[in-house]
Amino acid sequence: MQALLNTAIQAARKGGDLAIREFSRIDRLDVRSKARNEFVTQVDLAAEQQIIETIRRRYPDHAFLGEESGLSGQGDHVWIIDPLDGTTNFIHGFPVFSVSIALKVRGTLEAGVIYDPCRQELFTGIRGSGAQLDGRRIRVSRQVSVEGALIGTGFPYRSNLRWGKPYLAMLGSVMQEAAGIRRPGSAALDLAYVAAGRLDGFWEFGLSTWDIAAGALMIQEAGGLVSDLVPGDPWLDSGNLVAGTPKVHDALLKMLRPHLPEPA
């Protein structure tokens, strides 16, 4: 598995380096709208292509699920790729974005990489072998309650606007207890920060598989928990998840779930 992870690291660095080169000339980017308030640039497309090509040179029989290119190929090994998580930040010159790559083998997440090209920080994880930041072992924080915790989140928008009112009620509940709430705009990095103990917990609605696969694996390998925000709605498919240290995770679930709307 280490050889597979090394390939993912190489691919993530190439994608991130491409993004940084273009970040200095964002005024010349061709920005297109995929949907309301959802954007794609030539950087997203070029970075994803470069990542796939880097991995495919070593593993030509593997399949790929990319945010921009969709699913290609089939087999036991599927690489899940977000070439630029935080595109809205990127096109506004806000320096919080990342590359996220995860590997699923026969339906199980086995390895993940999240690379922050602005800070040149590399988060990695292998199932059963722990999670690391720049080669050093990381663990979730020791925080045991939402009181005093720093919690990450993301706002529902686009097709997830139906969660608007429930989300605001959840936000109000957490604000009353937590030391602070952060919404930087790259869910992959938020999850990596939970794994590294920089955030104590996180919740969001409607994320995509490529946003969360690598980071969720890292949290689990760093001693944290990831669960379905909506009971019976698998988080990797729905993108509705709660994560954190074991006790913060449990406390968040108790705070958030009472605000969920009744099933239709």
Q: In order of start, what are the domains of the chain with their CATH numbers?
A: 2-137 (3.30.540.10), 150-259 (3.40.190.80)
pLDDT on residue 138: 98
pLDDT at 46: 87
Residue 40's SS3 state is strand
Answer whether 194's CB lies under 8 Å from 243's CB.
yes
Q: What percent of the chain has pLDDT over 70?
A: 91
State the DSSP code for 202. Answer: E
In whole angstroms, give the CA distance from residue 41 to residue 31: 5
pLDDT at 69: 83
Residue 202: closest CA among 227, 177, 223 = 227
Listed residue (194, 47, 214, 210) closest to 124, CA to CA: 214
pLDDT digit string, tens, across residues 66-94: 988 888 888 899 999 999 999 889 988 89
Whether the pTM exceeds 0.85: the reply is yes
Query: How many percent of the chain have pLDDT more than 90?
Result: 74
Specify whether the backbone of 104 is left (phi greater than 0), alpha (psi in -120 to 50) or beta. beta
Segment 24-64, tens digit of pLDDT: 776 666 655 554 444 456 787 889 999 999 999 999 999 99
Bridge pairing between strands 31-35 and 38-41? antiparallel
Mean pLDDT to the nearest integer, 218-244: 95
Taking the C-alpha atoms of residue 239 and residue 56, their distance in angstroms, rounded to an integer, is 27
Kindly state the average pLDDT of the residues 223-240: 93
The rounded distance, in Å, linking the Cα atoms of 121 and 187 is 15
- pLDDT (0 to 100) of residue 45: 84
Model pLDDT for residues 104-119, shown as the tens digit of each residue = 999 999 999 999 999 9
- 124-165: pLDDT as tens digits: 999 999 999 999 999 999 999 999 999 999 988 765 667 778
In the beta sheet, which residues pair with residue 137?
Answer: 132
Is the pLDDT confidence value at 193 over 70? Answer: yes
What is the C-alpha to C-alpha distance for residues 18 and 210, in angstroms, rounded to an integer? 19
How far separated are the first and last CA of the chain, in Å rounded? Answer: 43
